């Protein structure tokens, strides 16, 4: 889907106190960004921020970092955050392909919500559950590796189940008609049209 460009998006994002401008400078020291030693969980592809903002509201004892490659979707999140006071949330405008350059054994959980399915076979390596990305995630997790994934794409879901197992993850829970208490913008849209939501929770020790 083509992203809508928002005027002055780059300036709006860079000016927000929630946005970390040079995330690589905090590699290995993200606990100092939050001034505590609480667990850090990240959402890769946070979009407009509905999911991770609500997570931060409901779980003040967990630190959250939202990662989004493009600045325009983040404008919506920043507008919401301008009326919030969430000390446990930060945002990074960054390409997740380089995730291992900004975290070092610090992350407790990764959320993958409605990631681009990259349906063409030649684009398999771009999927966020490919072995390339999963090997990068191995470098950012603190202890036990934990990933929660939601997708409307049945093919990506089946691919991911295989990829997780091939990369040493244990599948803890699956659901092909998942109902979450915290949803994303995409999720709300799919649910309204009757599309099923696929969910998987995996762990690697």
Taking residues 15-35, what's their average pLDDT? Answer: 96
Q: How confident is the model at residue 10 (pLDDT cuts 50, 70, 90)?
A: confident
Whether 2 is in a domain gets the answer no
Q: Tell me how far CA of residue 197 lies from CA of 45, 174, 190, 200, 202, in angstroms.
A: 17, 11, 8, 10, 17
For 165-199, write each residue's pLDDT tens digit: 999 999 999 999 999 999 999 999 999 999 999 99
Name the strand (E) or helix (H) holding 194: none
Q: Which of 158, 93, 156 is nearest to 128 (CA)?
A: 156
Beta-carbon contacts of 107 under 8 Å, excluding residues fewer than 6 positions away, are 40, 41, 42, 140, 141, 142
Is a pLDDT exceeding 80 seen at residue 53?
A: yes
CA distance 156 to 169: 17
Whether 123 is in a domain gets the answer yes
Predicted local confidence at residue 2, as pLDDT: 41
Is a pLDDT exceeding 90 seen at residue 15?
A: no
Whether 89 is in a domain gets the answer yes
* Residue of 100, 104, 116, 175 marked active site: 116
Helix (H/G/I), strand (E/B), else coil: 169: coil
CA distance 139 to 112: 17
- For the chain, what is the domain count? 1
Whether 133 is in a domain gets the answer yes
Whether 187 is in a domain gets the answer yes
* Cβ atoms of 205 and 172 closer than 8 Å: no
Taking residues 1-13, what's their average pLDDT? Answer: 65
Name the strand (E) or helix (H) holding 134: helix 131-140
Helix (H/G/I), strand (E/B), else coil: 204: strand
Whether 51 is in a domain gets the answer yes
Helix (H/G/I), strand (E/B), else coil: 144: coil
Domain residues for the domain of 70 are 9-204
For 148-168, write each residue's pLDDT tens digit: 999 999 999 999 999 999 999
Whether 4 is in a domain gets the answer no
**116 assigned to active site:** yes
Higher local confidence (pLDDT), 152 or 8: 152
CA distance 34 to 3: 31
* Cβ atoms of 178 and 197 closer than 8 Å: yes
CA distance 26 to 34: 11
For 103-153, write each residue's pLDDT tens digit: 999 999 999 999 999 999 999 999 999 999 999 999 999 999 999 999 999
Whether 147 is in a domain gets the answer yes
Read off the pTM. 0.94
Q: What percentage of the chain carries pLDDT values higher than 70?
A: 97
For 59-90, write each residue's pLDDT tens digit: 999 999 999 998 888 999 999 999 999 999 99
CATH label of the domain that carries residue 61: 3.40.50.150
Higher local confidence (pLDDT), 3 or 33: 33
Predicted local confidence at residue 1, as pLDDT: 42
């Amino acid at each position: 889907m083509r992203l809508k460009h928002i005027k002055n998006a780059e300036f709006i994002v860079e000016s927000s106190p929630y946005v970390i401008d040079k995330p690589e400078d905090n590699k290995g020291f993200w606990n100092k960004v939050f001034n505590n030693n609480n667990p850090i969980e990240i959402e890769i592809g946070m979009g407009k921020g509905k999911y991770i903002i609500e997570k931060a509201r409901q779980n003040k004892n967990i630190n959250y970092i939202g990662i989004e490659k493009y600045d325009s979707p983040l404008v919506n999140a920043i507008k919401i955050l301008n009326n919030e006071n969430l000390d446990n949330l930060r945002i990074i405008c960054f390409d997740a392909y380089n995730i291992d350059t900004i975290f070092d054994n610090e992350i407790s959980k990764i959320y993958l919500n409605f990631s681009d399915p990259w349906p063409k076979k030649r684009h398999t390596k771009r999927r966020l559950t490919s072995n390339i990305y999963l090997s990068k995630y191995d470098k950012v997790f603190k202890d036990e590796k934990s990933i929660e994934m939601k997708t409307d794409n049945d093919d990506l879901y089946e691919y991911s189940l295989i990829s997780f197992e091939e990369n040493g993850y244990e599948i803890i829970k699956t659901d092909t008609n998942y109902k979450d208490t915290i949803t994303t913008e995409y999720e709300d849209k799919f649910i309204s049209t009757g599309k099923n939501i696929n969910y998987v929770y995996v762990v690697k020790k």
